[in-house]
């Protein structure tokens, strides 16, 4: 009976998405991207006789978790095509040209008919679902077809429906997986408590991804020239709620400090409003690219505001401190890109769903703040004590190094599930 309600809810979601499309950009992209999906997929895969590995990510963050596994799979199984699907436009629209996958599509809405038709077209030999993705009809149909299914970088919490007395229908989802590779011990114990034992404690593949980011980091001469040897705070993925705390703090700090601010989303009016509220000189990165720009303006500025996308992970290399945005809203953004370069981390209160943030707060290298006075106190203590700052920096860098290796564990599981004849020679 619950499966009927599940399928009905997805049809209602699809109708709501179509109704919202004329008024909402993401809804419009999601509807347009799934239009005639059968034809799109059939045209791309027509005549393909090569085995397919299917990777599914909800959005951009999950894609980054899956990327090191996709790249490892490509190296170990070069005879496979990789098909990547996204649920959200914020993943698909950014990574639709990703060269590590042979085919990239939106995932059709999880109805029984769509699941059957999609799998008839794709015919995957193995499927990987990244972190939180649990789609009943796809999982049930994959199981019916005896296609191995792996979930990795997954994390479970007691409040999830799987672990509630009424959660029998949702627990069925988990029995469809051949193996789940989870991030922490609590997840292993929760799953064991409901009889799910095909589980490996593997950690989070994002650690492997940030290791790749460090190895491939780009030098950014503008950032180096801006820093001028001063202490530097990098503000990553800033929202308005983060700036409501940071602007009064920065205006009253009164000590040498350079600040790079990377907004979560690039909105010119918002950036100009922030510039108007900040005391001291500021420069937008795009201004530095003009032939008429004076280098002295960059050197004398207190704030460098990044008005492009894709640079943040490399900017952290110049910082002594990092503030990561998002934790005054729905949730904290990626802290590992900053942690891997070694520095104390600061963020708002909504961080407890992120294991790495919980761990680093517990270890005394990351600090949660709720107001400007609290941030001033904890930041000032680390600013004034170089030994304390260096110790926090050491802890964050060591934490990332100690937690790499999840990708290798995922590939070990894939090796057990795939027929020997299909492995690379």
Q: Going residue by residue through the chain, which has 425 residues, state the pLDDT in tens, using 9 for 90 and above.
A: 678 888 888 888 889 988 988 888 889 999 999 999 999 999 999 888 899 999 999 998 899 999 999 999 999 999 999 999 999 998 999 899 999 999 999 999 999 999 999 999 999 999 999 998 899 999 999 999 999 999 999 999 999 999 999 999 999 999 999 999 999 999 999 999 999 999 999 999 999 988 888 888 899 999 999 999 999 999 999 999 999 999 999 999 999 999 999 999 999 999 999 999 999 999 999 999 998 898 899 999 999 999 998 899 999 999 999 999 999 998 899 999 999 999 999 999 999 989 899 999 999 999 999 999 999 999 999 999 999 999 999 999 999 999 999 999 999 999 999 987 555 44
- 404's CB contacts (< 8 A; 6+ apart) are 207, 208, 211
In the three-class reduction of DSSP (H, G, I as helix; E, B as strand; rest coil), residue 52 is classed as strand
| pLDDT value at residue 423 | 53
Same fold, 2-203+405-422 and 218-402: yes
Sorted by where each begins, the domain ranges of the chain are: 2-203+405-422, 218-402
pTM of the model: 0.79
| pLDDT value at residue 1 | 66
What is the C-alpha to C-alpha distance for residues 191 and 177, in angstroms, rounded to an integer?
12
What is the C-alpha to C-alpha distance for residues 139 and 176, in angstroms, rounded to an integer?
6
| pLDDT value at residue 422 | 53
Architecture of domain 2-203+405-422: 3-Layer(aba) Sandwich (3.40)
| pLDDT value at residue 424 | 47
Task: Provide the 10 A C-beta neighbour count for residue 290.
Answer: 8
DSSP state of 108: P
218-402 CATH: 3.40.50.2000
């Amino acid at each position: 009976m619950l499966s009927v309600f599940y399928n009905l809810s997805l049809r209602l979601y699809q109708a709501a998405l179509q109704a919202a499309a004329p008024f909402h950009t993401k809804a419009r992209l999601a509807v347009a991207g799934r239009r005639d999906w059968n034809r799109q997929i059939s045209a791309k895969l027509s005549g393909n006789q090569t085995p397919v590995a299917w990777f599914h990510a909800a959005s951009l963050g999950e894609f980054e978790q899956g990327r090191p596994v996709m790249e490892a799979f490509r190296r170990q199984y070069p005879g496979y095509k990789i098909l990547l699907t996204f649920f959200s436009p914020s993943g698909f629209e950014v990574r639709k040209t990703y060269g590590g996958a042979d085919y990239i599509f939106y995932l059709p809405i999880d109805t029984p008919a769509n699941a059957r038709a999609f799998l008839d077209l794709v015919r995957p030999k193995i499927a990987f679902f990244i972190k939180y993705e649990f789609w009943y009809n796809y999982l049930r149909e994959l199981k019916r077809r005896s296609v191995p299914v792996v979930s990795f970088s997954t994390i479970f919490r007691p409040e999830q429906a799987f672990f509630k007395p009424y959660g029998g229908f949702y627990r069925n989802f988990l029995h469809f997986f051949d193996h789940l590779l989870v991030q922490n011990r609590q997840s292993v114990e929760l799953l064991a408590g409901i009889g799910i034992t095909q589980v490996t404690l593997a950690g989070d593949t994002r650690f492997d991804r940030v290791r790749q980011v460090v190895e491939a980091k780009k030098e950014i001469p503008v950032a180096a020239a801006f820093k001028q040897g001063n202490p530097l705070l990098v503000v990553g993925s800033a929202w308005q709620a983060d700036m409501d705390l940071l602007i009064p703090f920065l205006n009253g700090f009164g000590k040498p400090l350079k600040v790079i601010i990377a907004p979560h989303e690039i909105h010119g009016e918002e950036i100009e409003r922030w510039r108007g509220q900040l005391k001291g000189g500021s420069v937008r990165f795009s201004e530095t690219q003009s032939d008429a720009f004076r280098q002295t303006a960059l050197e004398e500025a207190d704030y460098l505001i990044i008005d492009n996308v894709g640079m943040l992970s490399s900017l952290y290399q110049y910082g002594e401190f990092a503030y990561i945005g998002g934790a005054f809203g729905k949730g904290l953004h990626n802290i590992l890109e900053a942690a891997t370069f070694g520095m104390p981390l600061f963020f708002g209160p909504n961080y407890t769903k992120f294991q790495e943030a919980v761990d680093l707060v517990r270890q005394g290298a990351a600090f949660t703040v709720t107001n400007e006075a609290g941030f001033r106190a904890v930041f000032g203590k680390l600013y004034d004590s170089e030994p304390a700052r260096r110790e926090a920096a050491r802890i964050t860098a060591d934490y990332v190094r100690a937690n790499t290796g999840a990708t290798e564990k995922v590939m070990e599981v894939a090796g057990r599930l795939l027929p020997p004849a299909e492995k690379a020679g």
